[in-house]
Amino acid sequence: MDIIYDPFRVIGDALRGLLGGFGLPDWAVQLIMIVIGVSVLVVFAMLTMMFLTWLERKLIARIQDRVGPNRVGPLGLLQPVADMVKLFTKEFIIPTNADKVIYYLAPIIFVIPAFMVFAVMPFDRHAIISDLNIGWLYIVAIGSTSTIALLMAGWSSNNKYALLGGMRAVAQFVSYEIPQVLSVVGILLLVGSLRMGAIVEAQNTIWFVLLQPVAFVIFLLSTISEINRTPFDLPEAESEIIAGYHTEYGAIGFALFSLAEFINMFAASALAATIFFGGWQGPILPGWLWFLIKSYAMVFVMIWLRGTLPRLRVDQLMNFAWKVLVPLSLVNLTLAGVGVSVMNYYGWQLSSLPGVLFAFGTFLVFNVIMVLLFLALYRTPKVERRNVVLVKQASKSRPQTPAAASGR
Amino acid sequence: MLGDYAAVGVLLAIVLTIPIGGYVVTWLLRPKRAYPLKQQTYECGLETTGDTWVQFKVQYYIFALIFVVFDIETVFIYPWAVAYKQTGLFALVEMMIFILILVMGLAYAWRKGALEWV
């Protein structure tokens, strides 16, 4: 049973025993273990990316009442392989005026943080590459590196659309990082640690989404924006700026960009599952299966959002970040601080049942207050008066034709 | 402690091989028949006019400035959040004052129209 419920520890122990049997020193065994673990992780990420491209096309097709890829392999499952072969054998065209070094570097720099984020991701109780004590901060730091790659891609292509896409990407990522980072502070207050393992372990009685629902919504929206997906995919809005920052990238460049984007999508889903839905914690089923179920549920939500919502306008996007999400996350942060103070004052622990119930009640009241406040302040979006005035002036200044004068 | 980061270093080294390996493989497999017409900038099928690398509006950089303010704030809030359970009510009041000052800053920027995307 152990091999099902805790496979990573069983296999790890077996490997360690095997390597120790060769008479290797401790540090060498440790190093080889790390290399094996990391290789497995990288292969897993690549397979996930291939599966996700298929899943997204299939689901979007279903939502749009189509069939989706169904020719290559059963149910079209081998479609990603065919795509990969195609992208690898295509000619890699570099525009004459491009800044060649930066043009080559941008996809590399975009791919690396996508994988690096998984270093602190707790897949299971004993399946975490490196449980850093600054886990979440590490993810924020690594994750924001990709912004530079997008600006590099946009700038070096020497294409106006690409430049606009890159600039938009920077503005958007910079804006949405604030609510994303602030929404997690409530969780950190409850856990008292930045370690991802500790965040998961703190949720064995109650998921944090129940204590911090508003924080979860803020986190989800800003994360979708950070990973650049519809309805926030302004940097690559094809109806406005062709393909944004990767307009000039074909073949392997494009393959690397989409590789990183799909891995980012899975990383974001896994993060939401880990921070707000208890990660690998769950009854009956083994931990790694719970982790995958929760992550893919979040993936499904993201694809669903893409299939349902239209794209925002760029000024709406920036307004939404600075005028809605940032104030809301500051209020949320303050109320979370007050809530944790109340918990500390009465000595409620999340490990005991009454403590959980009292904490849940307190945070529920705070969150309801916050939502009501939000609805009261933001209920009606402002009518764009400027346009109305322009239309009125236009109709006034129009010369009166006989038909209009007679009131028809 | 250092061992934790060794794993991150190994991950970085292995991940580096993916894009570089991709470039190498595609360099071996791809056709290489470039000519000037093909290498033109992809822009509506017309030749580009004017310089691409233009200056951006100053409004754009104001967002970056506000971001820096809030990002530094995060640096202060995270240690506060982690050590919160040990510090008690004093920390809460102090952080509220800190956030209040920030909110005033945000309100000022909002009022001045710095948050308008034009």
Distance from CA of B96 to the nearest CA of A (A): 7
ipTM: 0.87
pLDDT, tens digit, 9 for 90 and up, residues B81-94: 888 878 778 888 88
Distance CA A73, CA A71 (A): 6
Residue pair A96/A246 in contact (Cβ under 8 Å)? The answer is: no
pLDDT band at B2 (very low <50, low <70, confident <90, very high): low
Mapped onto helix, strand or coil, the DSSP state of residue A89 is coil
Q: What is the DSSP letter of A322?
A: I
Nearest Cα residue in chain A from B82 = A192
- CB atoms inside a 10 Å sphere around CB A112: 21
How many residues are present in chain A?
A: 408
Chain B contacts of A163, Cβ < 8 Å?
Answer: 52-54
Distance from CA of B25 to the nearest CA of A (A): 7
pLDDT, tens digit, 9 for 90 and up, residues A128-151: 888 888 888 899 888 888 888 888
Residue A6 pLDDT exceeds 80: no
Distance from CA of B117 to the nearest CA of A (A): 5
Chain A contacts of B81, Cβ < 8 Å?
Answer: 185, 188-189
This prediction has a pTM of 0.86
Q: Name every residue whose Cβ is closer than 8 Å to that of residue A162 and which is 6 or more positions away in sequence.
A: A153, A154, A155, A241, A244, A245, A246, A247, A248
Q: What is the DSSP letter of A350?
A: T
pLDDT, tens digit, 9 for 90 and up, residues B5-24: 888 888 888 888 888 988 88
What pLDDT was estimated at residue A395?
Answer: 55
Nearest to A115 among B15, B52, B92 (CB): B15
Residue A306 pLDDT exceeds 60: yes
Q: Provide the Cα torsion A126, A196, A260, B7; round to 10°.
A: -60
Question: Above pLDDT 90, what percent of chain A?
Answer: 11
Nearest CA to B110 among A320, A323, A313?
A323
Q: What is the DSSP letter of B55?
A: P
Chain B contacts of A129, Cβ < 8 Å?
Answer: 7-8, 11
Nearest to B30 among A42, A89, A317 (CB): A89
By the 10 Å C-beta count (0-12 exposed, 13-18 middle, 19+ buried), A26 is classed as: exposed
**Beta-carbon separation of A188 and B78 below 8 A:** yes
Distance CA A216, CA B33 (A): 51
What pLDDT was estimated at residue A385?
Answer: 55
What pLDDT was estimated at residue A405?
Answer: 47
What's the Cα-to-Cα distance from A227 to each of A57, A121, B81, rounded to whole Å? 18, 17, 26
Question: Above pLDDT 70, what percent of chain A?
Answer: 92
Residue pair A45/B14 in contact (Cβ under 8 Å)? The answer is: no
